[in-house]
Amino acid sequence: MRFSDFSFAFPAILSAIMLTAILGPGGVNSILAIGLYNIPVFARLTRGSANSIWTREFVMAARASGKGRFRITFEHILPNILSIIIVQATILFAIAILAEAALSYLGLGTQPPEPSWGRMLNEAQTLMFLDPMQAIYPGIAIAIAVFGLNLLGDGLRDVLDPRLSRKR
Amino acid sequence: MSLLNVKDLSVILSTSEGPARAVRNLNFHLNRGETLGIVGESGCGKSMAALALMGLLPEQSETVGEIKFDGQNLLEKSDADMCQIRGNRLAMIFQEPMTSLNPVHTVGHQIMEPLRLHRNMSDNDARSETLRLLDRVGIPNPKELVDNYPHQLSGGQRQRVMIAIALSCQPDILIADEPTTALDVTIQDQILELIQTLVREEGMSLILISHDLGVISENTDNILVMYGGSAVETGQTAQIFDELIHPYTQGLFAAMPKLGRARGGRLVTIPGTVPDLISLPSGCTFTDRCPLATDICRNTPPPAVEVKANHFAACHHIDEARNRKTEELFS
Ligand SMILES: Nc1ncnc2c1ncn2[C@@H]1O[C@H](COP(=O)(O)OP(=O)(O)OP(=O)(O)O)[C@@H](O)[C@H]1O
Ligand SMILES: [Mg+2]
């Protein structure tokens, strides 16, 4: 949790740049940098939402029926925070795509000949006025991917929450 | 020997303002098949006492004394041992049926859990037992309801489901902590009657917690009146209602609206509010609100005096309390 406090002090892209600067540019390294940055975000979220579920009455009722901490964690706490975690995962997935694009744009991410939307944007920059479509297509691709993932998150939450899914 | 014997039970909660004694030196016992009512105002420690029996108190708390259940002291048991007892031999129903069921599991799933956990039933057996239990607690269409989620049930139905869960392993003692407070009046009576019937038919003992003297008087054999964490009066229900002794019990009874009371007759209120647990006097906890209080009350805890056979009251001024009319005490 201390480490997560540290990582919250820096914006996502900045710390990813920092890490790739330390590890050196490259596809795998930028994935590591973005992934490592997201771990504490999940740790925070999981701990916070799990703690709030632990104080709920049905947890007390489950304990009163003789369940141990381990069983309660997996049978009562996890199902109740799963939708939050999944939604967060899709949002962070979208943010990670943006971060990768940014890293590649700066030349810290995927190296040629591996293709990358971010680097496409970078290379299209010089040709911006000759052939603007070269910049627009990867831009649209990034936007659609991010938007799609957000929609996926919303959809999953509706499916996973019995209170919402029944009402439709 | 009694099924449950509680001796000098105290619960000390650590709060930011210091230790708070939510339960002080509670003594009571419960025989097989008997019902005990615990009554008292909100905040007097009824739930804390019940949770202490179950071993479910919050972590920042300390429990001292002795809880002998079937010859074994529950306070000396490990958490793993308590898991074997909870839900199996000691079961509890809570005040809030709306939130006591897990919203992400079906009703059937939640009733089947203790059956699988304590009675090692197969899925099929557990399912048919679940249907039987739902029928038992008066759910009209168990087959349809069993696959529903809690939010699709009414409050009364949910409380019936909670009762089915509590009953599932045929416990020796059922603790019902204000099982009807959150329900409307017509449903309240049905639920209380259901609990009564089931307790009698299964031969269970019942600890019924309520702040409603009416509920307690109709449903119990013995009563324990609590104030500020301590027991102020105990005895057989009929005996206590025959003569209320402790000034607090008298006030509590007089504050209760009664059907058929002459119009214009006034309800009594006990002056003051429930005391802050941290700054309670070292003597009688009722001192600050008691019309009979003197210096001795503040500093010396009153002993429980056996006024009549098995009817105890903890008060320094028992004779005076008995001689005065309630209306004189609280006017
Ligand atoms: N977690 C806690 N930390 C500190 N104090 C607490 C905690 N829970 C309860 N208390 C205090 O303990 C006292 C007894 O509470 P308890 O819940 O046993 O009352 P009760 O008699 O069950 O009341 P009610 O009729 O409202 O259910 C209260 O004064 C309350 O403020
Ligand atoms: Mg309570």
Give per-residue pLDDT as tens, B52-72: 999 999 888 999 999 999 889
Nearest CA to ligand 1 atom 10: B22
* Structure token digits, residue B307: 């006024």
Closest residue by Cα to atom 22, ligand 1, is B47
Answer whether residue A31 shows pLDDT above 90. Answer: no
Instruction: For tokens 């003992």, name the residue.
Output: B205
B44 C-beta closer than 6 A to ligand 1:
yes
Instruction: Supply the pLDDT for residue B331.
Output: 67
Length of chain A: 168
B23 Cα nearest atom in ligand 1: 14
Q: Which bound ligand lies closest to the C-alpha atom of B43?
A: 1
Distance CA B211, CA B178 (A): 8
**Confidence bin at A167 (pLDDT 50/70/90):** very low
**What's the pLDDT band for B310 if we cut at 50, 70, 90?**
confident
> Is there a contact between B292 and B247 (Cβ–Cβ < 8 Å)?
yes
Cis upstream peptide for A113 (omega within 30°) = yes
| Binary contact (B102, A67; C-beta < 8 A) | no
- Measured from the Cα of B15, ligand 1's closest atom is 4
Of the ranges A127-141, B189-203, B257-271, B298-312, which one carries the lowest mean pLDDT score?
B257-271
Query: Tell me, what's the ipTM?
Result: 0.84
As a whole number, mean pLDDT of residues B304-324 equals: 85
Average pLDDT over residues B294-313: 86
User: Residue A128 phi/psi, 5° resolution?
Assistant: -45, -45
User: What is the spatial distance between Cα A26 and Cα A29, in angstroms, rounded to a whole number?
Assistant: 5
| Closest A-chain CA to B55 | A64
Query: Which ligand 1 atom is the nearest neighbour of the CA of B45?
Result: 18
- Taking the C-alpha atoms of residue B329 and residue B331, their distance in angstroms, rounded to an integer, is 6
Q: Do A66 and B101 touch (CB under 8 A)?
A: no
Name the fold adopted by B35-57+77-225: Rossmann fold (3.40.50)
Choice between B163 and A20, residue whose per-residue pLDDT is larger: B163
- Position A168 scores a pLDDT of 41
Collect all residues with Cβ–Cβ distance below 8 Å to B137 and sequence separation of at least 6: B160, B161, B163, B164, B167, B194, B198
Q: Among B10, B17, B44, B224, which residue has the most ligand 1 atoms within 8 Å of its CB, making it the best to mutate?
A: B44
Instruction: Answer yes or no: are the C-beta atoms of A86 and A156 closer than 8 Å.
Output: yes
Cβ contacts of A135 within 8 Å, gap of 6 or more: A120, A121, A124, A125, A127, A128
Q: Among B30-39, B168-177, B299-308, where is mean pLDDT lowest?
A: B299-308
Q: B24 CB under 6 A from ligand 1?
A: no
Instruction: Indicate the pTM of the whole model.
Output: 0.83
Could you give the CA distance from residue A103 to residue A28 in angstroms, rounded to a whole number? Answer: 12
| Residue B102: partners with Cβ closer than 8 Å, 6 or more residues away | A58, A62, A76, A79, A80, B110, B150
Q: Are A35 and A48 in contact (CB under 8 A)?
A: no
Candidates B93, B101, B104, B170: best to mutate against A (most CBs of A within 10 A) is B104
Calculate how close chain B gets to A45, using CA atoms only, in Å: 19
What number is the average pLDDT over the span B290-306? 85
Alpha carbons B175 and B296: distance in angstroms, whole number: 36
- CA of B149: which chain A residue's CA is closest? A162
- pLDDT at residue number A1: 60
Residues 6+ apart with CB under 8 A from A165: A158, A159
Instruction: Out of B37-46, B132-141, B270-279, pick the least confident.
Output: B270-279
pLDDT score of A121:
81
Contact call for B101 and A79, based on CB within 8 A? no
Q: Mean pLDDT in chain B?
A: 87
Whether residues B114 and A65 touch (CB distance < 8 A) is answered with: yes
**A104 within 8 A of A26, measured Cβ to Cβ:** no
Q: What is the pLDDT of residue B197?
A: 93
CB–CB of A67 and B85 under 8 A?
no
Query: What mean pLDDT is predicted for residues B295-319?
Result: 86
**Is residue B180 within 8 Å of B6, Cβ to Cβ?**
no
Contact at 8 Å (CB) between A61 and B101? Answer: yes
Query: Two tokens at B326?
Result: 């309630």
Which chain B residue's Cα is nearest to A77? B102
What is the maximal distance between C-alpha atoms in chain A? 72
A95 — pLDDT class (breaks 50, 70, 90): confident
The amino acid at B242:
D
Whether A64 and B96 lie within 8 Å, measured CB to CB: no
Q: Is A145 helix (H, G, I), strand (E, B) or coil?
A: helix
| pLDDT in the model for residue B46 | 92
**Between the CA of residue A143 and those of A17, A101, A146, what are the distances in Å?**
22, 11, 5
Residue pair B28/B224 in contact by the 8 Å Cβ criterion = yes
Strand pairing partners for B176? B93, B208
Name chain A contacts of B77, Cβ cutoff 8 Å: none
Distance between CA B61 and CA B22 in Å, rounded? 10
Domain ranges in chain A are: 2-165
- Rounded CA-CA distance B67/B175 in Å is 15
CB B146 within 8 A of CB B106: yes
| A57 with B99: Cβ contact below 8 A | yes
Percent over 70 (pLDDT), chain B: 95
Q: Which residue of chain B comes nearest to A159, CA vs CA?
A: B104
CA distances B23 to A45, B167, B301, Å, are 37, 28, 14
Average pLDDT for residues B222-226, to the nearest whole number?
93
pLDDT band at B293 (very low <50, low <70, confident <90, very high): confident
Q: Is B117 close to A162, i.e. CB distance below 8 A?
A: no
* Cα distance between residue A130 and residue A147, in whole Å: 29
- Within 8 A of B94 by CB-CB distance, chain A residues are 57, 60-61, 64
| DSSP string over A72-120 | HIIIIIHHHHHHHHHHHHHHHHHHHHHHHHHHHHTTSSSPTTS--HHHH
> Scanning every residue of chain B, which has its alpha carbon at the shortest distance from the alpha carbon of A83?
B104
Task: For residue B184, give the amino acid letter.
Answer: D
Residue A17 C-alpha, separation from nearest chain B C-alpha, in angstroms: 41
Give the confidence band of B263 by pLDDT, cuts at 50, 70, 90.
low
CA of B45 to the centre of ligand 2 (A): 7
The confidence score (pLDDT) of residue A10 equals 61
pLDDT band at B317 (very low <50, low <70, confident <90, very high): confident
Q: Which of B26-40, B60-74, B78-92, B279-293 has the lowest mean pLDDT?
A: B279-293
Q: Where in chain B is the domain with CATH 3.40.50.300?
A: 35-57+77-225
Whether B292 contacts B329, CB under 8 Å: yes
Coil, strand, or helix at residue B308? strand
Q: Of residues B309 and B177, which shows the higher confidence score?
A: B177
| Highest mean pLDDT (candidates A2-6, A33-37, A81-85, B4-8) | B4-8
Nearest CA among B57, B59, B121, B125 for reference residue B86? B57
- Return all residues near B210 (Cβ < 8 A) that are at least 6 apart: B37, B38, B39, B178, B180, B181, B216
